[in-house]
Structure 1
């Protein structure tokens, strides 16, 4: 009986020992499998073929930026709609779309009765002024020499002042339609038939971007014949959320980047912050002004407006392309040996100039893969599939 009890106890102990050993072995296998799934091993030849590169993790100075979608538009101070202020027919057109023109350059000429009447009125007023001025000066000289009478002097002075007033009125009239004194006097000296021709000139330096007239077309003050723009400076408009409005102010420096010029940053400053909030998007319009002397920025071009929103600080910064995004998680690959790379979860922060802040997950001095990341990711997926099959 005692022997049977001892045998039963011994058997139970062995069962518990075996069960205990089996329970401890399973976590080790899971841990080994997990470690295997997060590590990629490559041959030296593969590393050379994919041109894998690493970067040593370090703390770097950076300034936080607020990045918002934006669009280049024309600086309205450097844009001109040009046309005739009097009715007439287009006589000649001298420019086409794409031509660069200077301020004062003639773009077209217009013929019309109104033009002739305006010029004639000016010429008559100028002739009367010249005559009365000469007469007044002669009467003044005679009076000073005690030859002429005071009455004649006063009459000549009154006539001169009247002629001067009429001349100023006619002079103002010709300038209001875009004529200069020389345009009118040259027409008189030149061909007789040019007296009814009005030259239409550009008011700014720039490029013709619209031409809406042809020879023989009837035009008037409502006709926009040409549009000329100067893009030496441009505006960039963006929409900022109301919660961020306290982070910026007018005259704040800003950067503009575009996918068209991936390696270039254009410098400017904020010149306008909207006074109302859009009810639908809850955003406010902001505008930056940017120098564009090389004319790379084109109106209607899209990009990003970047506005500094904090003082310069130091943080771990790595290339954007070093971070793999998968669902809601972000990973990097850290080099553990010459041929071994560990996938590691990180928490990112602000992205600036193609580099991203790492808040958690990396330490100074570690080496992170900066090029070849997606190859490592694909290799890791292959190993996971093989592991699942076994």
Structure 2
């Protein structure tokens, strides 16, 4: 029985034998008319060479406020917030009052101070009387020392109560229970977490009254994956693009690479610090970090030359007498209409660059 290899007009390789099996026939007649040859697929075989390829790594990132110039403002004591004069995006100065706080803690602190003051006066009088009694040998030296210790303790308690009032921002001689909430830095209010009239619990509140940041410099952070760590050293120049400013490129250097991998993504944080004149860069703005990596010698082949079989990638290599064999390769990134071959091919190898798909063995009967 004669066997012919033909290719159909639809691109599939067909193996034809010297007879056709009509539908329903079990036998084969040797005198059947031969199948006419169909046009064969055009195959192109080329020699591949290594070439020096410049590589650029792109990392998605985002803008963050510099934590060294960011503060969360909380109430220094419990009370009711009044006259909040701050909105998100507003510029504030260091020491500027952003709200008033009315607190019952102040009244309690002043009461504690008054009580301590009274105890101090009582201890002072007792000590003065004790001095007279000791002088007339009516009181023992041990009893007098007890009076001295009690007087020292009363003065210490009075000073503690005085310091508590000062910590709250008040004077022990005042009468007001209102205090101003001020910004400790000059910056921009990123968010405001409360409103006038709300009660503040200084030891229980998890939401800050406001978050203020100085945006004169900002951080650009991105995720650097584990397999790229060796190619990105500290202080490598970086080009940064923002979708908000198309056609404009910002320049910086890598200021920090994190020391711990995220257990889920296996990436570390990479950081670039940028000056931000005019505050054009806003926190949470998306960015793209482009990092030039050292050039490498790689082989580039047309994308259609590489065949995929599950997780395996292969190319056809011409052998002899018009025969072709498959060789497994490892591919890298795609560059336009070409794909990088990391391993599996060598400089000077010949491969099928066009029509490789037609050489696949047909699937099924």
TM-score of the superposition, structure 2-length normalised? Answer: 0.50
Match of 1:271 in 2: 256
Q: Specify whether residues 123 and 202 from structure 1 end up closer, same or farther in structure 2 by C-alpha distance, changes over 3 A only.
A: farther
Equivalent-residue separation in structure 2 for 1:213 and 1:173 (angstroms):
26
2:171 counterpart SS class:
helix
Aligned to 2:168: 179
* Matches of 1:126 and 1:268, distance apart in 2: 61
Q: Which runs of 5+ in 1 are unaligned?
A: 1-62, 137-149, 312-324, 331-346, 348-390
Q: Closer, same or farther in 2 for the Cα pair 1:85/1:164, shift >3 Å?
A: same
Does 1:66 pair with 2:57? yes
> Do residues 210 (structure 1) and 191 (structure 2) align?
yes
After superposition, the C-alpha distances for 1:298-325 in whole angstroms (9 at most, x for unaligned) are: 11111222345449xxxxxxxxxxxxx9
Alignment of 1:159-308 (within 5 A): 161-163=152-154, 165-170=156-161, 173-174=164-165, 179-180=168-169, 183-185=170-172, 188-189=173-174, 192=175, 194=176, 196-220=177-201, 221-222=204-205, 223-250=207-234, 252=236, 254-261=238-245, 262-279=247-264, 281-307=265-291
Q: Give deviations 1:93-113, integer Å, cap 9, x for gaps.
A: 233333322333322122232
Unaligned runs of 5+ in 2: 1-53, 128-140, 296-333, 341-365
How far did 1:255 drift? 4.2
CA RMSD of aligned residues (A): 4.4
**SS of match in other structure, 2:254:** strand
Checking the alignment, whether the CA contact within 8 Å between 2:77 and 2:168 is kept in structure 1 is: no
**Which of 55, 76, 88 lines up with 1:97 in the alignment?**
88
Q: Distance in 2 between matches of 1:249 and 1:76?
A: 23
The structure that is helix-richer by fraction is 1
Distance 1:295 1:85, change over 3 A: same
Q: 1:327 to 1:84 in 2, by over 3 A?
A: closer
Distance 1:307 1:88, change over 3 A: same
Distance in 1, Cα, partners of 2:231 & 2:117: 62
How many equivalent pairs are there?
236
Match for residue 328 of structure 1 among 337, 343, 348: 337
* 1:292–1:160 CA distance, 2 compared to 1 (3 A): farther
Match of 1:116, SS? helix
Runs of 4+ in 1 over 6 A off after TM superposition: 126-133, 153-157
The corresponding residue for 1:83 is 74
1:168 shift after superposition:
5.0
